[in-house]
Structure 1
Amino acid sequence: MKSVITIGTLLEKIESRLSRHPINKSSNTKVAVAALGVLGIRNFPRVPCTTQQMLGLMKGCDIVPPRQRASWAQRHRLGQIAAEADNGIYRPHHPFVALRIYGPLDLPALAKAWIRVQKRHPVLLCGFDMSDATWRLDAPAGVTDLVITDATPSGGADTARRLMEQLVDAPFDCTAGPLARLVVLRCPEQTLFALVLDHLVGDFWSLEVLMRDLTASYAEELGLETRPLPPVTFPFPDQVRDQNAYLDSPAGRQALKRLAETLKDVGPIPETRFAGFTGAGSASYDRTGLIRHTFGNELTQAVSTYSRASRMSPWTVIHAALHRSLYDLCEQSAIGTTLMTANRESRSVHQTVGFLAGKVVVATKRGRTTTTDFLQEFQRAVATALDYTAIPWPRLLAHMDPKAFGRHSRAPYISFNPQTTSMRRWLGTWQFTNCKTAPLHLTGSTPDAAIVMSLTELDKDIEVLLSHKLDWYPTRVIELLWQTVEQTLWEWVRKPGSR
């Protein structure tokens, strides 16, 4: 099998490694052969040679990436999939982009562009060995064509939308791959479009990368001049390999212990039960509610101004208001919520397609403090949580609560998920050449948390989505929670430091 990872990237990595170790050419060859063996290169001539001679010989080698251990996030998800299968349950966990496309969409050109995208990001093609949680990088599936379906002539908009939801939610073959698909539903006056991933190989940032690559490749297939795509400098398998190595190291094990110590009061799954909790021992994934609100321009501007004066981000202030509101609504001495993180701070992974997103636990304690003191304490709690982003949440689960690893949570916890303007493009602003697009709102995957507060930054407003499991929290209770958060923010911005 020829180059699954690019020869150029491989040569650069090997040359970089060798340049840092000035040793004689015989040892040089041994180091190189060992490195290449790990990477799965076959037929490499084992003779003493200079670095340049060695690199020249490598150009004719076949590249066979070896299987490797899945990341802790992937292992956690694989465990959930296996548990679902054992119980006869299927719960899709698919990040996706869904659009309405108006205009002359060229499907043959789109199909060719999709093939190019799959070849550029081969992680989309590789499945997993469920028996030992290894990633089958050595056995990628073939690239796939578009999934094209025609809408029923007699069906209306709701029928087409339900059909799209079925196509988006359809299971992937997690063993053989591929783990991505591009769905097109042809309707009389529009085309419905969805790019779908399994979370095992992608997150919402990955969707942004893929849509950028897809629309650029589509334009090129139409014969238009386009800018070259930026290189993928740190592929996802490399990131997973480095992360696993760190977690296995003494430094990684010590960091895990320190993180667990900071969360001893709330645990890795910070269970929260506030006024209105039903007391149910579990919650059905089929019974969920969704509440939509907006801050409005006045509160959005007030929070922004208050945040600057407090030297905090607006998201931290809003998250802090959520914690303060929970203390108002319950009697717990400590509160923890999970904070969603993209884990893309390094530019080296900005072009990477993979499951890098995660969550950290922000833990606070009840105290009779002023607003200023509370916000400062909360800011320190967030900073502490973010200091440990190198420890994936599933690794923390396996350490502190092994029975929860690889399983859906049975504890009602709350998740906070802010999305800035730069993370909004997947909502529908991508354009295909000669076409117009609009968002297509589909029912997404049901989150693991009891409540997810998602915030989306708009031009002059903030949209709030509150997804919740009805078996634990009825709609009226979630409305009360939001009203309390909103009231807390108004009190803070009008009388800073008074509460």
Structure 2
Amino acid sequence: MPDRTDPTATTAPGDPTAASVPLSLTQEQLWVLDRLAPGNASYNTTMMYRLDGPFEADVLARALEQIMSRQQMLRTAIVDVDGVPRQTVAEDVAVPLTVTDLTHLPEDKHETQAQEHLRQAVHRPFDLRRAPLFRVELIRLGAERHLMALVIHHIVSDGWSLQVLLQEVADLYASLVTGTEVTLPPLPAQFADYARGQRERLAGPRGRALVEYWTKQLAGAPRGLGLPTDRPRPAEASFRGDRLVFQVPPELRGRLNTLARQTRTSLFMVTLAGFKAMLSRITGDEDLVVGTPVGNRDRPEWSALVGYFADTLVMRTDLSGDPAFAELLTRVRTTALGAFAHRDLPFRTLVEKLAPERAVSRNPLFQVMFILQNIPARRRRLELSGVTLTRLDDIRSTAIFDLRLDLFEFEDELRGQLEYSTDLFDRPTIERLVTQYLALLTDACSAPERRLSELSLGATAFTDGFNDDLGEW
């Protein structure tokens, strides 16, 4: 058996009526979903790294301890007070670091065993009633070879939070190893302040104006998208999923950016328009609703906080009349600008106001998500005082939506990942969708004046970019 050190000891919160505050409205949505499907790990978010160099696990634990003392969300649990969720901060919580030593195994067994440990860490659900709602899994493969997974529940974090946490780990780890003093800037606020402020803002005229805008924007929106699936939709979603990683050819990436400049749009708008055009072609639908995340850190005091600030925007686009791709870009641009200008109505509130017919087999309002992230070079590799961290692909096997397309824009490449529900789709279908998407984008860049029906969905040699492995970012 491997030598396993686990100082994780979840701490139950104290009196839930004391020192507790309301959840934000976005947090409340996740709490409701957790109550509907307890033990579901779909809202675990993960960052995984390979560590090369003389890494010290005890120093990492000390760095995490200091970060937990300043970032209240890393000590927060969600409790039920007479049917109302509240967040409460535990004063004393053990650092959730697990170290697994595999050096006793033959080297050819390392990868298999390491991936199994990481999969268990990634897919193990959190009990929202117990803090902390994050954990770190460290696997030792050699004196200077480690793998690390940071797993945190979405209710206390978002994508920006992961970067905040990683940077603070890097700063404090280096300080502790070298004996130099690093003072992290004091936090002017905590997430609880944001949660209270959000409810206050939405109780006034701004809240009423947002509801009016979105009610009008989504009036008569379709209940679902007619995706051609390999199997009928089950009565209840299992949240089982998989993902296909692919590369956007460098030449196509350059042409996408050129088209964005020529049309006064953005790479987000061009790639979203292409995604919607492809979906329209394969479904026959002309009224498409797709979700996309938004950060909502619009005040400087929120920038250094760990917390769930992110929310979801609904992007509805009219594709009727077989428009030219350039015309579709104009429509997508109008939709996106309007949505971002009215971004501060929580998705939960929107669902409550629209009251769509609900079903446990699908998400309300939309079933397909689109995301474009710009990843600075410093986030691909990070130095920890002589240790190089290289980010690896996620290994989760869950899917919240029918389809979720993530595009990652680096300085030197554009990378994609199509996550899909395995209740609905087989792998060959997803490979075909990615190939059709890239083919359509290629044709649209060549002739944006062509109508959507004229854009090619023909098979092209993009499959070389498909990848299942723990590749580097």
Question: Smaller-chain TM-score range?
Answer: 0.7 to 0.9
Please name the residue that 2:171 is paired with. Answer: 216
Counterpart code for 1:66: A
The 2-side partners of 1:406 and 1:431 are apart by: 44
- Residue 470 (structure 1) shift: 2.5
The 2-side partners of 1:480 and 1:184 are apart by: 37
Cα shift readout 1:319-348 (whole Å, capped 9, x = no counterpart): 011111222222223111111222234433
The 2-side partners of 1:244 and 1:407 are apart by: 30
Please name the residue that 1:172 is paired with. Answer: 126
Please name the residue that 1:331 is paired with. Answer: 284
- Residue 138 (structure 1) shift: 5.3
Please name the residue that 1:308 is paired with. Answer: 261
Please name the residue that 1:232 is paired with. Answer: 187
Please name the residue that 2:52 is paired with. Answer: 102
Counterpart code for 1:384: G
The 1-side partners of 2:236 and 2:435 are apart by: 24
Is the contact between residue 22 and residue 87 of structure 2 (CA under 8 Å) also seen in structure 1? Answer: no
- Residue 410 (structure 1) shift: 7.5
The 1-side partners of 2:129 and 2:362 are apart by: 21
Structure 1's 319 and 282: CA in aligned 2 closer, same or farther, altered over 3 A? farther
Structure 1's 183 and 478: CA in aligned 2 closer, same or farther, altered over 3 A? closer
Matches within 5 A, 1:49-448: 66-85=19-38, 89-131=39-81, 132-137=83-88, 139-144=90-95, 146-151=97-102, 153-154=104-105, 155-189=109-143, 190-225=145-180, 228-266=183-221, 271-276=224-229, 278-282=231-235, 284-285=237-238, 287-368=240-321, 369-401=323-355, 404=358, 409=363, 413-422=367-376, 428-444=380-396, 446-448=398-400
5+ residue gaps, structure 1, are 1-63
2:410 maps to 1:455:
no
Cα shift readout 1:245-299 (whole Å, capped 9, x = no counterpart): 12222431331232122112326xx621134464324465464232222111110
Counterpart code for 1:237: A
Is the contact between residue 242 and residue 399 of structure 2 (CA under 8 Å) also seen in structure 1? Answer: no
Is the contact between residue 110 and residue 141 of structure 2 (CA under 8 Å) also seen in structure 1? Answer: no
Structure 1's 379 and 442: CA in aligned 2 closer, same or farther, altered over 3 A? closer
- Residue 393 (structure 1) shift: 1.2
Matches within 5 A, 1:33-44: none
- Residue 482 (structure 1) shift: 2.5
Which protein is bigger by CA-based radius of gyration?
Answer: 1
The 1-side partners of 2:86 and 2:22 are apart by: 6
Please name the residue that 1:48 is paired with. Answer: none
The 1-side partners of 2:365 and 2:213 are apart by: 24
Cα shift readout 1:438-480 (whole Å, capped 9, x = no counterpart): 2344422623210000001123321111111122233333333
The 2-side partners of 1:411 and 1:396 are apart by: 10
2:445 maps to 1:493:
yes
Structure 1's 410 and 120: CA in aligned 2 closer, same or farther, altered over 3 A? same
2:425 to 467, 473, 476: 473
- Percent identical across equivalent pairs? 21
SS class of match (1:168)? helix
The 2-side partners of 1:403 and 1:186 are apart by: 49
Q: How many residues were matched structurally?
A: 429
Counterpart code for 1:206: S
Counterpart code for 1:153: H
Is the contact between residue 65 and residue 138 of structure 1 (CA under 8 Å) also seen in structure 2? Answer: no
The 2-side partners of 1:384 and 1:437 are apart by: 39
Structure 1's 318 and 145: CA in aligned 2 closer, same or farther, altered over 3 A? closer
What root-mean-square deviation, in Å, do the aligned CA atoms of Structure 1 and Structure 2 show?
2.7
The 2-side partners of 1:216 and 1:388 are apart by: 36
The more displaced of 293-302 and 402-411 is 402-411
The 1-side partners of 2:192 and 2:364 are apart by: 31
The 1-side partners of 2:356 and 2:287 are apart by: 22
Structure 1's 295 and 356: CA in aligned 2 closer, same or farther, altered over 3 A? same
The 2-side partners of 1:496 and 1:318 are apart by: 13
- Residue 91 (structure 1) shift: 2.6
Counterpart code for 1:420: N
Is the contact between residue 400 and residue 421 of structure 2 (CA under 8 Å) also seen in structure 1? Answer: no
Cα shift readout 1:8-38 (whole Å, capped 9, x = no counterpart): xxxxxxxxxxxxxxxxxxxxxxxxxxxxxxx
The 2-side partners of 1:329 and 1:392 are apart by: 31
With the length of structure 2 as denominator, give the TM-score of the two structures: 0.83
SS class of match (1:431)? strand
Counterpart code for 2:193: D
- Residue 412 (structure 1) shift: 7.0
5+ residue gaps, structure 2, are 1-16, 452-473
Structure 1's 109 and 333: CA in aligned 2 closer, same or farther, altered over 3 A? closer
Is the contact between residue 157 and residue 308 of structure 2 (CA under 8 Å) also seen in structure 1? Answer: yes
The 1-side partners of 2:97 and 2:432 are apart by: 45
The 2-side partners of 1:97 and 1:289 are apart by: 17
Cα shift readout 1:344-399 (whole Å, capped 9, x = no counterpart): 34433221110111211110123222332221111101112212210111221222
The 1-side partners of 2:140 and 2:366 are apart by: 41
- Residue 152 (structure 1) shift: 7.3
Structure 1's 371 and 160: CA in aligned 2 closer, same or farther, altered over 3 A? closer
Please name the residue that 2:435 is paired with. Answer: 483
SS class of match (2:142)? coil
SS class of match (2:178)? coil
The more displaced of 188-197 and 110-119 is 188-197
SS class of match (1:196)? strand
The 2-side partners of 1:126 and 1:264 are apart by: 38
The 1-side partners of 2:146 and 2:189 are apart by: 35
The 2-side partners of 1:202 and 1:471 are apart by: 28
